[in-house]
Amino acid sequence: MSERTIELIYDPFALTTAQHRAGLAGLLVLVESLRKRKMKPVPEIHTNENQTISVRITEDSLTVLFNELYDAIWDERKSDSKPQAKTVRNVKIVEEDAAADNTNGRKRRKKQFVYETIAPKAKFLEVLGLTAPWIKLWREAIFGSIRSRDKQRQDYKDRAQGKPASSVAQIWAEIERLAKAKGNNKSLSVELSSSLFIGGQDTNAEKVSFLGGPDHNLLLHFWPVVMGVYVPEIIDRDGTSKLSSSYVLVIPDVTDPIGFVQDFLETLARLGTEMTGYRPKQAVITLPQEGGLEYLHHLLGLVKAKTDVANAAGVEVYHLEKRGNNVHMLSTDRVPVSRRVLEQYEAIRDKYYSVLFRRKLILNLIRGEPWYREFDRVFAKGSKEWFIGIKAHRFSSDVQRRFEVESQARRSA
């Protein structure tokens, strides 16, 4: 293994995308987690006078970094059907009591498959204070979106088998080639996997190459460290709400990576532990953009928002869903840091419970529209039972609550 030290210098404002900038912040957060556990060697981080950040790295410290990032566990799961994935072991069949038969009231015996499968460990998030339900959600989002295919999980499979992450050798070789090219005043571009960059395609119909510099490509491994994960609540045709199988990934557009690290650590401490079903309550949203507002709510807090102090310019929001063997991007958006919007969101969150009412309220807030705008479209698309009658108690209560807020505001004016 090479003992050479290579210095990579990053200017946050010269990095081309929010995913790259979040990747630099994620790298710093991961190094902080390693330092807390006194794990060595780790990359050396320095802030230069011109506000650039130097990362001095060796092949050994890169290995420690990737072994931690892609560390994996064997997680027990249950399924009604036999698992088809290659990364499973210890498959066994068990019988459990099912719901009572409606005809005779007798309980039926139900067969289930119990097995172990590879899952991201995310010890670095646990060390920094993230609680178990949030870690579970993060793990499932990784394999349910950006690493949904078996070939995209090789480093995780290596770690589950007690081996070093196999991608380190290639990445280090590319970094050495970059250092040599820069020594000759040249640049270097190498292939970039689409699993590292949301929206990118390394294989496409136009046969256009998907390339990036080795130093920039390195950063794209780390943005998941600081991403927020949320789950949309959806309405069935009969008006019943349920949690979607899709994920909303929120990526911060970091402007000050050093300052962001402390903000992010405080963010983890702010996340609540109350549950909605099997998900953290604060992770359940009514529309993707709410995930962006919720992330900024915890990241900044009203105090920082009021003083216009922020280490992020906003967040990018990606709504992803796995369908068959492919992951589809259902929507993408950007939510900028806005004191007005965050203050008004603070007045909305945790105060309205109808999915339909809350969704429209937040959408109007983001668009800068009056809160009541285009509710006629909501009524036109839904059944009348959703808005009037016994089943509509949440919607009617939210409407009454909102009118009371408006009346009080006018009396105080």
The reported pLDDT for the residue numbered 269 is 86
* pTM over 0.75, yes/no: yes
Looking at the chain, the whole-number percentage of residues with pLDDT higher than 90 is: 79
The stretches of 147-287 forming alpha helices (DSSP H) are 154-160, 167-183, 214-219, 257-270
Q: Which amino acid is at 46?
A: H
The reported pLDDT for the residue numbered 95 is 84
The reported pLDDT for the residue numbered 352 is 95
Q: Choose the weakest-confidence range: 95-104, 228-237, 321-330, 365-374.
A: 95-104
Is 80 exceeded by the pLDDT of residue 236?
A: yes
Tokens of 240: 């019943």
Is 60 exceeded by the pLDDT of residue 71?
A: yes
Is 60 exceeded by the pLDDT of residue 50?
A: yes
The reported pLDDT for the residue numbered 130 is 97
The reported pLDDT for the residue numbered 153 is 96
The reported pLDDT for the residue numbered 308 is 64
Is 70 exceeded by the pLDDT of residue 137?
A: yes
Give the number of other Cβ atoms within 10 Å of residue 362's Cβ. Answer: 23
Is 80 exceeded by the pLDDT of residue 226?
A: yes
H or E element at residue 30: helix 18-36
Is 70 exceeded by the pLDDT of residue 205?
A: no
Q: Choose the weakest-confidence range: 18-22, 34-38, 190-194, 370-374.
A: 190-194
Task: Calculate mean pLDDT across residues 4-32.
Answer: 98
The reported pLDDT for the residue numbered 307 is 64
| pLDDT, tens only, 98-120 | 665 555 666 677 889 999 999 99
The reported pLDDT for the residue numbered 406 is 93
The reported pLDDT for the residue numbered 306 is 58
Task: Calculate mean pLDDT across residues 31-54.
Answer: 97
| pLDDT, tens only, 341-396 | 999 999 999 999 999 999 999 999 999 999 999 999 999 999 999 999 888 999 99
Q: Which amino acid is at 321?
A: E
Secondary structure (DSSP) of 97-140: EEEEPTTT-PEEEEEEEEEEEEEE--HHHHHTT--HHHHHHHHH
Looking at the chain, the whole-number percentage of residues with pLDDT higher than 70 is: 94
Query: Highest mean pLDDT range out of 77-91, 245-259, 390-404?
Result: 245-259
| pLDDT, tens only, 264-319 | 999 998 899 999 999 999 999 999 999 999 999 999 885 565 566 689 999 999 99
The reported pLDDT for the residue numbered 99 is 60
Compute the distance between CA of residue 85 and CA of residue 74 in angstroms, rounded to an integer. 14
Q: Which residues touch 50 (CB under 8 Å, ≥6 apart)?
A: 11
The stretches of 185-316 forming alpha helices (DSSP H) are 214-219, 257-270, 288-306
Q: How does the average pLDDT of the chain come out, rounded?
A: 92
